[in-house]
Amino acid sequence: MTNENTLTGKDTGGLSGFAALGITGALLKATHGAGFTDPKPIQAQAIPPQLEGRDIFGIAQTGSGKTAAFALPILSKIIALGTKRRPKTARALILAPTRELAVQIEEMIKLLAKGAHVSTALVLGGVSRFSQVKKIAPGVDILIATPGRLTDLVREGDLVLADTKWLVLDEGDRMLDMGFINDVKRIARATAPDRQTVLFSATMPAEIAELAKGLLKNPIRVEVAPHSTAAAEIVQGVVFARTKQKRQVLSTMLADEAMKSVIIFSRTKHGADRVTKDLERDGFKAAVIHGNKSQNARQKALNDFREGSVRILVATDIAARGIDVPGISHVVNFDLPDEAESYVHRIGRTGRNGMDGIAITLCDPSENSKLRQVERIIRTKLPIVADHLGSPDPQRNPAEKNERSFEPANDRNGRRDGRRPGGQNNGFGKKRFGEAFAGERKPEGAKPFKGNNKRRFGGKRPAARAA
């Protein structure tokens, strides 16, 4: 009798789960210990050919399980070979576009390598170079790096890549966006010519296809979740508000206790700082993460958010892809991203691991064309959940018709004093939010509030979040 892996069609020899994919011994134990019993589709597709030594070209987003998909085969091979490292070398190199992603990858590898003698090191910009050089001086098994700092270390002779037999490029499209492509090519050229290479990208622009052609040898192509399609569990909607109204609208939304764990995206670093400051002035505790913050500050913000000591994280797009914090209930796009593709990555921070999520986009009339681009990409027209533009007509783009009849959003609540109303439920919880646009595109203003949210949300996240 044969047992077939339904995804690979291969005989599994009576084994199931990760064992059927070829993961054994301590690694299998640690994988189960991490709570991974059933391989995700990308893992089922990518692990067996990688164990056979094939190069991989993967189209998958953060959240698909791609980290374990490339890490497990590398760990498996390094463990089988035993410890043999030359000074200043790395046996495997994983390149990530952002520091946050690199940190997360290392955490995942450490989790999966628990009980095995595999050394890891991080090479990132923005933190002390000295400690990184010291760590790699005796040689490491797996080095996780961002391309900029890695290039510096190689240039200065602190790291030699000639022994690097495994190379992973994670989030290739993001590397491209961030201008790392030439660094990546240079780094790849410095690694062992007979290396095994894995390239993962969430999308496949022509430059990534070109990069794959240059770096991968006869790769196996694996793919999950068709690109540019938002996850099905995420309920999405748009709130029309003028730019100068947005901060008040945001504070009003955040007073809703259904917004347990919220990431707010801002297009610019300056904007992120301003939103954070305004929220703090309104009595909300918020952490902020963007490219001008030091690595320590970024990591602290992420940790505070992950642990629940702040329930609001304000971020720029740099943070959109890498962040993997379980249980984010809401994503709020304070403004629309410059690139419509970023919308998909932003909202993908919620609705993870099969949990529900809500994504709300605040849209000024000047952003209508960006909104249309997003809608084209996700192939859905975003329902209007609230319209603060002062239009009695719920049709899209009402502002242009009502330029002179504009009134502050608070008028809908009968308030003009500029103070943040307190309250518990203004319609942004899943049920109410869903109802708000279950029927027609009916504008629905926020309901009046009662109570003081500063006390409720100023410090700890509610217990439900911590669970």
Binding site for ligand AMP (CB under 6 A): 36, 38-40, 43, 62-68, 324
C-beta separation of 76 from 51 below 8 A: yes
Angle between helices 368-378 and 340-347 (to 10 degrees): 70
Name the minimum Å distance from CB 34 to ligand AMP.
7
Please identify, using beta-carbon distances, which residue of 24 and 397 lies nearer to ligand AMP: 24
Please identify, using beta-carbon distances, which residue of 45 and 64 lies nearer to ligand AMP: 64
Name the minimum Å distance from CB 386 to ligand AMP.
32
Name the minimum Å distance from CB 96 to ligand AMP.
11
**What are residue 143's DSSP bridge partners?**
93, 121
Q: Using CB atoms within 10 Å of the CB of residue 244, give its burial: 0 to 12 exposed, 13 to 18 middle, 19+ buried.
A: exposed
Largest CA distance in the chain: 76
C-alpha–C-alpha distance, residues 51 and 463, integer Å: 43
By beta carbon distance, the residue nearest ligand AMP is 67
C-alpha–C-alpha distance, residues 110 and 30, integer Å: 10
Tokens in use for 332? 């709020």
Question: From start to end of 120-226, where are the E strands?
Answer: 120-123, 140-145, 166-169, 196-201, 220-223
DSSP letter string, 98-136? SHHHHHHHHHHHHHHTTTS---EEEE-TTS-HHHHHHHH
C-alpha–C-alpha distance, residues 172 and 198, integer Å: 10
Please identify, using beta-carbon distances, which residue of 36 and 428 lies nearer to ligand AMP: 36
Name the minimum Å distance from CB 176 to ligand AMP.
19
Please identify, using beta-carbon distances, which residue of 67 and 410 lies nearer to ligand AMP: 67
Name the minimum Å distance from CB 35 to ligand AMP.
6
Please identify, using beta-carbon distances, which residue of 64 and 164 lies nearer to ligand AMP: 64
Single-letter amino acid code for the residue at 226:
P
Please identify, using beta-carbon distances, which residue of 39 and 351 lies nearer to ligand AMP: 39
C-alpha–C-alpha distance, residues 244 and 246, integer Å: 6
Query: How many other CB atoms are found less than 10 A from the CB of residue 436?
Result: 19
C-beta separation of 388 from 362 below 8 A: no
Name the minimum Å distance from CB 36 to ligand AMP.
4
Please identify, using beta-carbon distances, which residue of 39 and 271 lies nearer to ligand AMP: 39
Name the minimum Å distance from CB 60 to ligand AMP.
7
Please identify, using beta-carbon distances, which residue of 73 and 423 lies nearer to ligand AMP: 73
Query: How many other CB atoms are found less than 10 A from the CB of residue 389?
Result: 25
282: CB partners within 8 A, 6+ apart: 251, 420
Name the minimum Å distance from CB 328 to ligand AMP.
12
Name the minimum Å distance from CB 200 to ligand AMP.
9
Please identify, using beta-carbon distances, which residue of 168 and 399 lies nearer to ligand AMP: 168
